[in-house]
Structure 1
């Protein structure tokens, strides 16, 4: 069989062959006529603590289930939910189920939507299961662990006619929207290039075995990943206040390339206007594969993504944010940072006497008054998701936005890992000219956990 046939079969499998991992196909009821949305939460770590508080604060939301493989975390989350409704004196609330198996949550007919904040290697598996069970999904970024999963999730949302919001919440912040509107409307002239600023790619896990206290289902935590001994770096026990470093181990995450790339490369895509596309070429810098083999990932940067319009987006490790370079100026944006340079001079910026809000609002008022391009304006990422659920519309970071941003991040990691220049077809979501092995699009899945 030739390579072209293999590629067609791979893409067809990516889009259609999603296994049934629920006991049976269970569909949730439509959102209640009152607009109330019942939710279940899966993955109750630090990020979910923020998400749980945010959704509990939204009117018309009722949380009825929490899930985590760590008994202490799920009990803590269930207690917080109960305390919230007790303080609110909510009538009709029937309690919050706690479980260590996500299938108990997605299988409930009375749950309309789920919020997924597990480690990345679980995102797609749980998302597809939830979609097939008729649930709408808020899934943390990056949306998937690999390209095959991104293609599968995008197809599943379309097939099941559900709503999905990716947790790339920078699109719901004004400084990022205005920055991208400035670029899209040509305020800095023709866009020439851009930089995305975030940390390094991941490394294969080599952590030693540690003793594990009772209360954690370690095999379930590993899920589709290879069996390996427990280490607290991957899953610190109980309730803690930091983001664990599983994300820097390739079996479970994509390093800072996906962790922060899902934010800043996502903004680059917004500024370029390529939400439903992607790069056509990805250039690895010289020596990057050798550095990764030597576990020197802190020195790995310089990957270039070339888009169909000729714009080159380069990954650098210094700083954080997105930096757009036009023929007549620059736009730099990060959380709490905003700067516009026109004709070599800083025109708008956060400063000692100027807040970031004042800087971008002034730029918007003075430079975008008659703008032809107006981008989706969301000011609250969770509220935007809930509005989309009620209206059955696409939210600001739909599966297309989240999937395409994830694919671009994964391509950077593949380029760094292989040291190759990748030829990419963003329409077919596969490599062109046999520039890389198809195995790089996916991973080996363990046991029943497959997408």
Structure 2
């Protein structure tokens, strides 16, 4: 029995009563023996690294940029007061270590699936930022590889661990305001082809490794900022590396909509571009029950029902029933708090609910670590993350090709000859390090 299996096995003996999702504050030292390697040490990793350092033992960091790699290494050494953490430029060297139990992946989107698959084959449990994949084919592969490997994966779709979004989905699933009529969501538009010029290469950056499978192109600091970034880099705006706003905030909001529609193991059957075409609002996802999800201004998640409306954004919640506003917290001027609005709504309308959605009371990372011990599926597991990413990719394809995209969410294939099977995969190149 290797070290990883021994730790999880012995921990599980003392966790036989652990729930499927986090309940209560984690016991101090509960996860200390779990050893973590982090891949991609940019802006998003500031919070992630703190979350894992305070709960587990971070023993390795990896980045193709020397500045970010050394920045992360120094933070880990300072936190633990030792020099035990190792730094890598090639993530495969990190995965080759038998003493690492968990990998945290926070690279640009075009690297997610390759690293997830390699980590799963190496037997590591995985926390990977959203969107979990960069195209439809990667979503299919990731679901299969993670299932075959039997590892635990959590997608960084942390809105599932936010009470306002969980409540919105739960109200919808229980039809408290009647059946859903339509849903809308506010996020910016699709990715665009990268048209940036060439700049002198950043010293200490392995540009070939940064590009990976994406098409070869010259370095530009918009894609990988010089030094340690003081804001989120804009590689996400370009098709080759991200998917624009659809794969950025859209990945979060469409994930909650999938949850509210009970579609975690399915998805839309059609994606439509805006009625007037172009890249503006109005793109839609259509489900086989006729419900349409439209990209438009407003709340992050806006669920219109027969007898009311359920609306949620980060830190905001509003519930209307039979023309009356039941609970509302949008700003402090509304009085009360978000927590009170959630609690009062639950108390009045969900106390006898038939559908109760999972809750990760101590946050998204804690939910993942609980499941590493219990071996249950986290709240945003591999299928959840892959299928939510598919929603993004389908909508983006409707934008990119300005036509309807017809999809079979069970057969995982296009269902109309107008959809080229080559669209399953994004632009890739033969990559070698």
Query: Does the pair score TM above 0.5?
Result: yes
* Unaligned ranges ≥5, structure 1: 1-26, 87-92, 292-296
Q: Are the aligned partners of 1:164 and 1:395 in contact in 2 as well (CA < 8 Å)?
A: yes
1:258-277 Cα offsets, whole Å, 9 max, x none, are 11111000011111111110
Distance change (3 Å), C-alpha of 1:255 and 1:449: farther
CA distance in 2, matches of 1:336, 1:135: 34
The alignment status of 1:387 with 2:395, answered yes or no, reads no
Q: Are the aligned partners of 1:142 and 1:402 in contact in 2 as well (CA < 8 Å)?
A: yes
Report SS of the residue matched to 1:122: helix
- Please give the residue correspondences for 1:26-425 in structure 2 after superposition, counting only pairs within 5 Å: 29-30=4-5, 32=7, 33=10, 36-58=33-55, 61-86=56-81, 95-288=84-277, 291=278, 297=279, 300-316=280-296, 318-350=297-329, 351=331, 352=333, 353-379=335-361, 380-425=363-408
Q: Are the aligned partners of 1:198 and 1:319 in contact in 2 as well (CA < 8 Å)?
A: no
Q: Are the aligned partners of 1:198 and 1:320 in contact in 2 as well (CA < 8 Å)?
A: no
Q: Are the aligned partners of 2:275 and 2:282 in contact in 1 as well (CA < 8 Å)?
A: no
CA distance in 1, matches of 2:348, 2:237: 42
- Which one is further off, 262-271 or 430-439? 430-439
1:111-133 Cα offsets, whole Å, 9 max, x none, are 01100000000000111011001
Q: Are the aligned partners of 2:240 and 2:427 in contact in 1 as well (CA < 8 Å)?
A: no
Q: Are the aligned partners of 1:70 and 1:237 in contact in 2 as well (CA < 8 Å)?
A: no
Report SS of the residue matched to 2:430: coil
Q: Are the aligned partners of 1:286 and 1:419 in contact in 2 as well (CA < 8 Å)?
A: no
**TM-score, length-normalised on structure 2?**
0.91
* Unaligned ranges ≥5, structure 2: 12-30
Q: Are the aligned partners of 2:135 and 2:393 in contact in 1 as well (CA < 8 Å)?
A: yes
Q: Are the aligned partners of 1:196 and 1:321 in contact in 2 as well (CA < 8 Å)?
A: yes
CA distance in 1, matches of 2:285, 2:229: 37
Q: Are the aligned partners of 2:407 and 2:413 in contact in 1 as well (CA < 8 Å)?
A: yes
The number of residue pairs the alignment matches comes to 406
Report SS of the residue matched to 1:204: coil
Report SS of the residue matched to 1:46: coil
CA distance in 2, matches of 1:244, 1:163: 29
**Post-superposition offset of 1:287:** 4.4
CA distance in 2, matches of 1:109, 1:320: 45
